Chain A
Amino acid sequence: KAGVTQTPRYLIKTRGQQVTLSCSPISGHRSVSWYQQTPGQGLQFLFEYFSETQRNKGNFPGRFSGRQFSNSRSEMNVSTLELGDSALYLCASSLSTGQQNEKLFFGSGTQLSVL
């Protein structure tokens, strides 16, 4: 069974640009979450989607947005990039049975560098 696939693996952008990151969950998984990982702040929750609906959102500015498609694939978008947005962006998927969103499986991430 293929794991969580994130594309692209690396990305270099300049301040003010926007970026779209893509995530394909494990087959059969309907929940997709996004996390930002930086050396200073660690792993921070961005948002979670299930059946195309956002169920929870972290404390990030409105420049960070996401969406989920009917095939469970997800994208996140960051507009007006800032230097501080440089980070590893991780996508995780889970079955999300019932009310629980347990056993999250992470992709290898997209390393975003903002110059």
Chain B
Amino acid sequence: QQQVKQSPQSLIVQKGGISIINCAYENTAFDYFPWYQQFPGKGPALLIAIRPDVSEKKEGRFTISFNKSAKQFSLHIMDSQPGDSATYFCAALNDYKLSFGAGTTVTVRA
């Protein structure tokens, strides 16, 4: 059973547009929420992460919004670039174990 639900499965955005990926969880024991970016043939690379006591975190063009009461969090990619075309995974950590969402394939059209 997927402990972290991620949507959409895929999205296409124009260069310069905003990509938004959403995740939801049930287990309130999760205490760290990272996002990973994965290119074909590579392992996931840590993009940005947030703790549940923070509602928003921004690093460059990437922003995480976190809603603890709704048990939801999202990734916003601003000014999307062709190089951002990749698969993005949300995750949640508890007891040394990461539970991953199913992934979102983002395609940025030039």
Contact = CB atoms under 8 A, between A and B. Distances in A.
Interface of A: 4, 31, 33, 35, 42-45, 48, 50, 55-56, 58, 90, 92, 96, 100-109
Interface stretch (B19-27, B37-45, B66-74): B37-45
Given A42-B102, A104-B34, A109 B97 contact: no
Interface of B: 2, 31-32, 34, 36, 41-46, 49, 89, 91, 93, 95-103
A76 to B, nearest CB: 15
B49 to A, nearest CB: 7
Contacts of B41: 108
State the 6 A-B residue pairs at the shortest beta-carbon distance, nearest first.
A106-B43, A43-B100, A101-B96, A48-B96, A56-B96, A45-B97
Given A4-B43, A48-B96, A100-B93, 15 more contacts: A43-B44, A43-B100, A45-B97, A48-B97, A55-B96, A56-B96, A92-B43, A100-B32, A102-B93, A103-B49, A104-B34, A106-B43, A107-B43, A108-B41, A108-B43
7 contacts: A33-B97, A33-B98, A43-B44, A43-B91, A103-B46, A105-B46, A109-B43
A114 B103 CA distance: 25
Contacts of B49: 102-103
Say what secondary structure dominates the interface of chain B: strand
B24 to A, nearest CB: 16
A106 B36 CA distance: 10
A96 to B, nearest CB: 8
B54 to A, nearest CB: 14
B97 A104 contact: no
A90 B44 CA distance: 9
